[in-house]
Amino acid sequence: MPESPEVQALVEFLDERIRGRAIADLDVGEFRVVKTRNRPPSSLIGARIRRLERFGKHVGLDTDAGWLMIGFGRNGWIRWTAPEDQPSDESVPEIARIALDDGAVMQVVDLGDFLAVTASVVDAPTDASGIAALGPDPLAADFDRDAFDRALGSRRKQIKALLQEQTSFAGIGNAYSDEILHRAKIPPVVHAAALDDADRERLFHATVDVLRGALADRRGLPPDQLKQAKVAAMAVHGRGGEACPVCGTTIVDRVFSGASAQYCPHCQPDRSAA
Ligand SMILES: [Zn+2]
C-alpha cells in the first residue's frame, strides 16, 4: 500500500518534470475508477499543469482546467516514461495514460487483484472523496506535539488501527504503523486511552522520525524503485520470523481485528500480561 513517504517522493520526482507542461492526451482504459462521471478526465486534455501535490496517500494534479485527484488504493502507482526514454514493451496493468506535450508519459497502474485506484476531476482537492476529512499529516512542517495529541485523542481504539485511520493521521498505512510502533516500543493492540505521557512523547517522535527519515532516504529515487526501497528499509514490517534488528528476538506476525501486524515481543511487550 503506498504510504506518505513514497507518495511524497513520487510527487517531488514528477512535479519538477511535469510542471508547466500541457496534457496532450489523457486516455482512461478502466472507466470504473472514474468517480466524476459528469466530468471525465479527458476534459483535461489541452490543460496546462501547474503542479503535482500530495494529500495523505492521494495525489492531485493541479491544471488550469481543474484538479485530477488520484487515489492509489492498495496497489496503485504511477509509471513514468521520460521524453528521452524508449517506450517499454513490458505489459503493465494500465488504468489511465497521461501523455504530455514534450513526449513524456505518466501511466496510472493498479497492480492489485481488485481494482482500487480512483480518479476524480474537481475544482478543489477537498471536493474529492476523503480529502476534506484527512487528519493532520506528520510530514507537514507544522505537525507538532499539539497536533499529534489532538489527532491521537484518548479513544479506546487499538493504536495500530488508529495510526492508519486517515481521518486521524493522513498518510500512514500498514507498513509504517508497524515501524512507528516498533520505534516507540509500544505494542500494536494497546488502546490510545491507555498511553501515558511518556508513551505519547515517544510515539510522537517515532511517528515524525520514521516518516521523515523514510522520505529523506527515498527522495530522488525514480518512481519504479520506491516500493523496493521501502520494503528493504523495514525493521519489522513484513519480517515475521526474522530477528529484530534492535534486540535479536524473533519478530511475531499476528492478525488483530482482521489486519496483520508484525512486532517485536521483547521491544514491544504486551502490557495486559505485564
Ligand atoms: Zn526487539
**Cross-strand pairs, 55:** 58
For residue 140, report the distance from its CA to the centre of ligand 1, in Å: 29
Quote the pLDDT of residue 54: 98
For residue 141, report the distance from its CA to the centre of ligand 1, in Å: 30
Q: What does the angle CA 210 – CA 198 – CA 236 come to, to the nearest 5 degrees?
A: 35
Residues 193-226 have pLDDT tens digits of: 999 999 999 999 999 999 999 999 999 999 999 9
Phi-psi map region of 258: left, alpha, beta (phi>0 left; psi -120 to 50 alpha): left
For residue 114, report the distance from its CA to the centre of ligand 1, in Å: 35
Q: What does the angle CA 25 – CA 3 – CA 75 come to, to the nearest 5 degrees?
A: 55
For residue 199, report the distance from its CA to the centre of ligand 1, in Å: 17
Beta sheet of 49-55, edge-to-edge order:
49-55, 58-63, 66-71, 118-122
Residue 274 in this model has a pLDDT that exceeds 70: no
For residue 57, report the distance from its CA to the centre of ligand 1, in Å: 29
Residues 70-84 have pLDDT tens digits of: 999 999 999 999 999
| Grid cell locating 234 | 523495514
- Average pLDDT across the chain, whole number: 95
For residue 196, report the distance from its CA to the centre of ligand 1, in Å: 21
Identify the band that residue 139 occupies on the pLDDT scale cut at 50, 70 and 90.
Answer: very high
For residue 123, report the distance from its CA to the centre of ligand 1, in Å: 48
Q: CA 92 → CA 111, 157, 180, distances in Å?
A: 8, 39, 32
Report helix, strand or coil for 178: helix
Rounded distance between C-alpha atoms, residue 171 and residue 122, angstroms: 21
For residue 204, report the distance from its CA to the centre of ligand 1, in Å: 19
For residue 212, report the distance from its CA to the centre of ligand 1, in Å: 22
- The pTM for the full model equals 0.96
Full set of structural domains in the chain with CATH? 4-127 (3.20.190.10), 145-233 (1.10.8.50)
Rounded distance between C-alpha atoms, residue 128 and residue 67, angstroms: 9
* Residue among 182, 195, 206, 204 at smallest CA distance from 269: 182
